[in-house]
Amino acid sequence: MNHLTFMPLIPVWTIAAAAGIVTLIGAYALLRRVPGSLARLLALLLVLLWLSGPRLSQPVFEPAPQDVLLVVDHSPSMALRNRLDSAEKAAARLQEEARSIPGLTLHTVTVQGGNGHGTRLFDAIDQADLPPGRFSGTVLVTDGMVHDAPANLPSLFTHEKNTLPLHVLLTGKGEETDRRLRVLQAPPYALVGKEAVMRVIVDDLGVPSGQPVTLTLRQGDEKPRQIPAISGQAVDLSVPIHRPGETLVTLTAAPLSGEVSPRNNTAIVRINGVRDRLKVLLVSGTPNQGERIWRRLLKADPSVDLVHFTILRPPDKDDGTPLSDLALIPFPIKELFQDKIKQFDLIILDGFHNAGILPQDYLANIADYVREGGGLLLTAGPEFTQDGTLQDTPLADILPAHVPSNGVVNERFVPALTQAGRRHPVTADLPQPWGPWYRALASDSSHGTPLLAGPGNQPLLVLDTVNKGRVALLLSDQLWLWSRGEGGGGPQAELLKRLSHWLMKEPDLEENQLRASINDNTLHIERHSDSERLATPALLTTPDGRMISVPLKPSGNGLFTANAPTNGAEGLWVVRQDGLTAVAAQTTRNALEDADLRATATILSPLSAKSEGATSWLGSDTSTPQIRQVSSGSLSGSGWIGFPRQLVPVASSSRLTALCPSWLALGGTLVLLFLSWWREGQLRRR
């Protein structure tokens, strides 16, 4: 820092030469004891010192320019109340004020946040990357809900053992309260017909828990259920799953009086309904080629429990072979057709004719099973026109077609899609081409929906609903030819699979279905219809309860679609059309942001205190703290926030102090010369 420097008045060598001569002569004079020679020598050396111009050089300091970082929180939680407005105004006032302070530059960073990462103000401070030395502190204007607050003050806030302040200006009048609903546990899958149990908890933030809360549970179109709960205590809720596919459940906790926002009082839970193992009863008539096909399909599916019933030896073919030689096991027909029939998901009657095999009561049970909601698939061959036909049993009442005794048509034909078949999810877009069949049944009457047509455009595959149940009738025993590859084969497995699922009321295979989904802030509505026109538009209920009418545009084969913008509105969107309801949910995209909506000082004030910064609530005041440049002492006070001023040496400039000024040299020399002269005089007098 301080150092000695010389600024000689004459060239250095002359000074050095003169000093040499002076010293030699002076030394000689001293040896000879010439009186006054010491004082004369010193006088000459002083003159030489003066000529060499010794100076003390000292550095020059000045206040450093100040960089102050202003971080303004624009995260989604700032949209609540008037936080954003208040923050913007405060930021504007600080900027204005900073402009009038010389040497202080206020750098402003706005932080958007959200996108699932919450509010990350400290990341923003890091990224601002202000040069150390000039950086002299930060002001955060925020609601205080910061998700990347470190445990200790970042090293950036320490410069040369000085602490730089972190000032926090909070939007709001003071600590706030918020109620939130959290789903602790919800099964992603649940069995259809069973109840899914989920566990939720209501947290009251900023107030003591233990308050009674009313939860409202909404599921599809059902009447909302009210459930009492206590805040801070987990509650288990049972949700019945009625059908396969997605079930949306909305849970809402009643608002806490005075809470910031009820937006996190709602949770939407998606539960996928899946079927338990399917229980299928296959009843085959005489061993026929179709049987292996059914078995290949059903046995290969691990989710199917198949009970296959066929009669290998009719009573009239008993040739007296001892039973011990036969591998025939009596079938538990009473159990199957009476006691447990209701438990099957699907019954298939494959070329079955009842020549004294089953009591009529059992067939009546099958008809009742269908009426009460079961699914029945019949494939009929020539036996349908012969003695023992199912048309002469109680099943006749639920059959969608009647075949007369001369109804067997032996003819090569390729099954064709009917108009309805092109639209119906069971047959629409079945892979082509299809191989030929050689026999069909011509019905003299039919009702229901024909999906396939046979020879002479006669119904070949007919679907029908009977009370709560469903029936499908295939009027040919030739489906197996597709499986065996005859003429290239056909999509027999796919057709049977879709038929089975339609019979079991799989939502995806309904001929009339309404679907809604949300993607990229757009609500997509898809309506499959069995008719060519839709009489009414779709009625849309937005999450805030507004009703909007949306016309559906036909896009061919019974499909109608529409799109509607959601504008990011979160919550449940309900679409209704022609008695059908579909629900889609725009779920919250910022779980972290929404977890706690309070404005609070609890997160930032410890950090701010460590940095000797201020934490203050902006309130509804129209003023913000004054900015001060502080050289020493406290960094904040009532109504002001300070930033330490630092001094830095001015590069290439220093202050010089002459160590041997002219007056000193002149005076000293005169005194010394006088002294020598006086010494000489003394000796002469002696």
CA nearest to 280, candidates 12, 63, 455, 496: 496
Give CA–CA dist 666/670, Å, rounded: 6
What's the Cα-to-Cα distance from 220 to each of 239, 271, 595, rounded to whole Å?
11, 12, 26
Side chain identity, residue 98: A
Residue number with CB closer to another protein (213 or 479):
479
Give CA–CA dist 296/308, Å, rounded: 12
How is residue 312 written in tokens? 């290998």
In the complex, minimum distance from the CB of residue 329 to another protein, in angstroms, rounded to a whole number: 6
Residue number with CB closer to another protein (331 or 640):
331
CA 15-19-20 angle, 5° bins: 120
In the complex, minimum distance from the CB of residue 503 to another protein, in angstroms, rounded to a whole number: 19
In the complex, minimum distance from the CB of residue 323 to another protein, in angstroms, rounded to a whole number: 10
In the complex, minimum distance from the CB of residue 373 to another protein, in angstroms, rounded to a whole number: 17
Give CA–CA dist 668/45, Å, rounded: 11
In the complex, minimum distance from the CB of residue 293 to another protein, in angstroms, rounded to a whole number: 7
Pairing of strands 178-185, 553-554: unpaired
Residue number with CB closer to another protein (438 or 617):
438
Residue number with CB closer to another protein (150 or 302):
302
Give CA–CA dist 180/198, Å, rounded: 16
Residue number with CB closer to another protein (307 or 601):
307
What's the Cα-to-Cα distance from 479 to each of 250, 290, 291, 460, 597, rounded to whole Å?
46, 7, 11, 11, 63
Residue number with CB closer to another protein (227 or 306):
306
Residue number with CB closer to another protein (63 or 287):
287
Burial class (CB in 10 A: 0-12, 13-18, 19+), 253: buried
In the complex, minimum distance from the CB of residue 409 to another protein, in angstroms, rounded to a whole number: 11
Q: Which helix (H) or strand (E) holds 134?
A: none
Residue number with CB closer to another protein (311 or 347):
311
In the complex, minimum distance from the CB of residue 298 to another protein, in angstroms, rounded to a whole number: 9
In the complex, minimum distance from the CB of residue 589 to another protein, in angstroms, rounded to a whole number: 44
Residue number with CB closer to another protein (410 or 632):
410
**Beta-sheet strands, E only, within 600-671:** 615-617, 626-630, 636-637, 640-644, 647-658
Enter the DSSP assignment of 573. E
CA nearest to 115, candidates 443, 540, 594: 594
Give CA–CA dist 422/9, Å, rounded: 113
What's the Cα-to-Cα distance from 610 to each of 381, 614, 627, rounded to whole Å?
89, 10, 19
CA nearest to 339, candidates 386, 281, 380: 281
Residue number with CB closer to another protein (26 or 374):
374
Give CA–CA dist 162/652, Å, rounded: 26
In the complex, minimum distance from the CB of residue 332 to another protein, in angstroms, rounded to a whole number: 6
Footprint of another protein (CB under 8 A): 279, 284, 286-289, 291-293, 295-296, 299-300, 305-308, 310-314, 317, 319, 321, 324-329, 331-332, 335-336, 340, 343, 410-412, 437-439, 478, 481, 483-487, 489
In the complex, minimum distance from the CB of residue 316 to another protein, in angstroms, rounded to a whole number: 10
What's the Cα-to-Cα distance from 391 to each of 286, 398, 410, 504, rounded to whole Å?
17, 10, 21, 23
